[in-house]
Amino acid sequence: MKGYIEGVGFRESTTAVMTMVVTEQKDRLFTGYMVFPLLSGKTRTEGFAGVIARDGKTLHLVEYTTGYDDGTIVSANEIELMNADDSEPAMLGIDTLKRSQ
């Protein structure tokens, strides 16, 4: 995870683990939830809905409370998500997710 938080600056973690769980998919549309590690050591769970673009590699997600993600399917076992959240404080992030099963 790499990112920038307004008022905090650049952040990078090689140990924090974000989990993305897809609970339902119909064609190129899917929904689920993500579990995010927080700076306090706690976690936050947030639902999302997403779509896989016609190219079969590009992802677009909307998080139910705040933020948007654009991503790329890198391989059958890896995706990269770029998050933008314009709430206060504003944040940008890059996350690499690897299949755990």
How much is the average pLDDT of 50-71? 94
**Number of Cα atoms under 13 Å in the Cβ half of residue 51:** 6
Whole-angstrom distance, CA of residue 96 vs CA of residue 84:
15
- Name the CATH code of domain 2-98 (choices 3.30.450, 2.40.128, 2.60.40, 3.40.50): 2.40.128
User: What beta strand segments (E) does the chain contain?
Assistant: 2-5, 9-12, 19-26, 29-37, 43-52, 58-63, 68-75, 78-85, 91-98
Interval 29-48: pLDDT, tens = 999 999 988 878 889 899 99
Which pTM does this prediction carry?
A: 0.83
- Comparing 58 with 90, which gets the higher pLDDT? 58
Q: Where are the domains of the chain?
A: 2-98
Measured at the CA of 17, the angle between CA 13 and CA 39, to 5 degrees, comes to: 55
